[in-house]
A and B are shown apart, each in its own frame.
Chain A
Amino acid sequence: MSLTSKINNTLNKWMRGAGPDSDVVISSRIRLARNIMGIPFPKSADSEDSKHVVEKVKDVLSDGDNEYGLKLLELETIPALEREVMVEKHLISPEHAQAGENKAVSLTDDESISIMINEEDHIRIQTLLSGLQLNEAWEINNKVDDYLESQLNFAFDERYGYLTACPTNAGTGMRASVMLHLPALNLTKRINDVLGAISQLGLAVRGLYGEGSEALGNLYQVSNQVTLGATEEEIIDNLQGVINQIIEQERSAREALLKENELKLEDRIYRAYGILSYARQISTKEAMKLISDVRLGIDLEIIENVSANILNQLVILISPAALQKLAEKELTSTQRDQKRAELIRSRISEN
Chain B
Amino acid sequence: MLCQSCQEEEATMHLTKIINNQKKEIYLCKKCAQEKGELAFSAPSFSFNNLLAGLLNNEFTSKSTGSSLGLGYQEQKECENCGLNYKEFSNSGRLGCNECYLEFGNWTERLLKKIHGSNRHNGKVPQRTGGLIKVKKEIQDLRKQMQAAVEKEKFEEAAKLRDKIKELEAELE
Q: What chain A residues lie within 8 Å of B111 (beta carbons)? A: 167
The 6 closest A-B pairs by CB, nearest first: A229-B118, A161-B121, A155-B98, A44-B96, A228-B116, A172-B123
Determine the main DSSP class of A at the interface with B. loop
Residue of B2, B6, B126 with most chain A CB atoms under a 10 A cut-off: B126
The minimal Cβ–Cβ distance linking A89 to chain B, given in whole angstroms, is: 18
B126 touches A149 (CB 8 A): yes
Q: What chain A residues lie within 8 Å of B83 (beta carbons)? A: 44
In the bound assembly, the distance between CA atoms of A179 and B111 in angstroms comes to: 30
Any B CB within 8 A of the CB of A157: yes
The minimal Cβ–Cβ distance linking A97 to chain B, given in whole angstroms, is: 14
In the bound assembly, the distance between CA atoms of A204 and B1 in angstroms comes to: 13
Q: What chain B residues lie within 8 Å of A153 (beta carbons)? A: 128
Any A CB within 8 A of the CB of B84: yes
One of A32-40, A60-68, A104-112 contacting the partner: A32-40
* Range of interface residues on B (Cβ < 8 Å): 35 or more
**A233-266 with Cβ < 8 A to chain B:** none
What string of 1s and 0s marks CB contacts (under 8 Å) between B97-127 and chain A?
A: 1110110000010011001111111111111
* Range of interface residues on A (Cβ < 8 Å): 35 or more
Can you identify 8 A-B contacts, CB atoms within 8 angstroms?
A: A162-B121, A163-B101, A174-B123, A206-B5, A206-B6, A223-B7, A226-B118, A231-B124
Q: What chain B residues lie within 8 Å of A155 (beta carbons)? A: 97-98
Q: What chain A residues lie within 8 Å of B4 (beta carbons)? A: 199, 204, 225
A160 touches B94 (CB 8 A): no
Q: What chain A residues lie within 8 Å of B35 (beta carbons)? A: 212-213
A232 touches B124 (CB 8 A): yes
B122 touches A229 (CB 8 A): yes
**A244-301 with Cβ < 8 A to chain B:** none
A44 touches B97 (CB 8 A): yes
Any A CB within 8 A of the CB of B81: yes
Given contacts A38-B98, A41-B95, A171-B116, 11 further A-B contacts (CB under 8 A): A35-B98, A40-B82, A41-B97, A142-B124, A150-B127, A158-B129, A159-B121, A166-B93, A199-B4, A223-B7, A230-B123
Any A CB within 8 A of the CB of B31: yes
Any B CB within 8 A of the CB of A170: yes
In the bound assembly, the distance between CA atoms of A154 and B121 in angstroms comes to: 15
In the bound assembly, the distance between CA atoms of A231 and B101 in angstroms comes to: 20
Instruction: Choose from B98, B108, B125 the contact partner of A37 (Cβ within 8 Å).
Output: B98
Instruction: Choose from A146, A158, A167, A213 the contact partner of B115 (Cβ within 8 Å).
Output: A167
In the bound assembly, the distance between CA atoms of A223 and B7 in angstroms comes to: 10
A40 touches B97 (CB 8 A): yes
In the bound assembly, the distance between CA atoms of A35 and B122 in angstroms comes to: 18
In the bound assembly, the distance between CA atoms of A168 and B25 in angstroms comes to: 14
Q: From B31, which residue of chain A is reached at the shortest CB distance?
A: A212
B123 touches A231 (CB 8 A): yes
What string of 1s and 0s marks CB contacts (under 8 Å) between B1-44 and chain A?
A: 11011110000000000010000000000011001000000000
In the bound assembly, the distance between CA atoms of A254 and B98 in angstroms comes to: 49
B101 touches A172 (CB 8 A): no
Any B CB within 8 A of the CB of A209: no
Any B CB within 8 A of the CB of A313: no
